[in-house]
Chain A
Amino acid sequence: MSLSIHDIHAQLTQRYADDDGVRVELIEGLTPAVMVELEEYGDLDIIVASSGEQIVVSTILVPASQVKDVAGLNAACMRLNPINPLSNLGITTDADGVENYVVFGELSTRSGIDAIDEEIQALAANTIDAVEALRPYFD
């Protein structure tokens, strides 16, 4: 069985119903996405979106405008990526043309909610580790 974004929203909401440290919200739009805000990780926003059988779990590492050593950061990211088994690093441009460095993972819509939740938690932990380690490259 394959999960729709609304299924993911409903199941995550249920899962964190009794947890004040986790806020789950459906972000409406052209195509809806799910936002999970984690207090434990400094209110980090994790976005879950899907298309076809593909699920993307993503969070912003740092806006490109706050990077002071672009070449240094890019090289560090390229070196980190192969030895970081859980999440990928990349640059995306959002709907308003704002460039962000992002950390993301992919799953199939056939993955269960446990796998999706695991990915969210792992991504958050990884991202905070990464931003702390890469802090010297930022403003």
Chain B
Amino acid sequence: MSIFGKLVTLFRGTAHEAGEKIVDAKALTILDQEIRDAATQLDRSKVDLARLMGQSKLSENEIGARDRKIAEYSRYIEGALAKGDEALALQVAEKMAPLETEQNAARESKGHLDQSIATLRATVSKTESRLKQMRAQVDQVKATDTVQRAQAAIAARHSGTNSKMSSALGSLERIKARQAQQGAQMLAAEELETDAGDGDLNRKLAAAGLLEDSSSAAAVLARFKQPRQLPQQSAGLLPGTVPVADGDVLVGVITPRDSHN
């Protein structure tokens, strides 16, 4: 079974167990076993490869020697024929014929041998890269395990009264809360600005003698000129609240400033 297959079987088997932590430990055991198996296979392949390469070298030497022998016989045959000694030539040719048959067989066998060597070489390099991948996977499992331990340590740290949810969901909530707070602060600042900058309204109110602290000469004079109109109205009102024509009360004019005292 592939490593993937074994790991999935492992997850299925432990999906309902309370301590799912053992999955990682078992995953490491599986990977360690796979690595050992692959390493054993790699060693065996390398031994086989060395043996086959030795055989191939030997076979190459034999083929070379036979080639030289065949070349020698060829020269003899040519020499005998040149001298017209057909009987001698035939005698040499009879020696050479089985040698040529042998040579053809040897070449064919070496061809098979070299093919096996190429296949084995590919297997070795494939096993080596598989080992590398598995070792990286072991590292990944181990690093992930370290991450989880650190996360558990941080979670334990925040589990007291001063709890901070150490997840992105918690962070998102903090970001939103901070944005809301910033928004509120900006709004308050704007209100303060308006408040501070509502001199226009205040000026009009002061001009009309409606502001308590209005101390302009015009207001004072106006108050004296029409003493009956105002006292009864302002008496019942809170400072800073001003009645308007339709009966609504403008509380907002002063309150924001009060709330920031």
Contact = CB atoms under 8 A, between A and B. Distances in A.
Contact of A35 (B23, B136, B154, B174): B154
A56 interface: yes
Contact-size category for B: 35 or more
A95 B19 contact: no
B164 A43 contact: yes
Contact of B169 (A66, A98, A104): A66
Size band of the interface chain A makes with B: 35 or more
Nearest to B178: A42
Contact of A95 (B23, B142, B152, B168): B152
Contacts of B139: 50-54
A47 B147 contact: yes
B84 to A, nearest CB: 78
Contact of A27 (B144, B153, B174, B175): B153
Nearest to B166: A45
Contact of B136 (A52, A97, A127): A52
17 contacts: A29-B146, A29-B153, A30-B149, A33-B147, A41-B171, A42-B173, A43-B171, A44-B171, A52-B142, A56-B147, A59-B168, A62-B168, A95-B148, A97-B18, A99-B20, A130-B168, A131-B172
A93 B153 CA distance: 13
Interface of A: 27, 29-33, 35, 41-45, 47, 49-56, 58-63, 66, 92-100, 102-104, 106, 127-128, 130-132, 135, 138
Q: Is the interface of A mostly helix, strand, loop or mixed?
A: strand
Contacts of B171: 41-44, 128, 131
B169 A51 contact: no
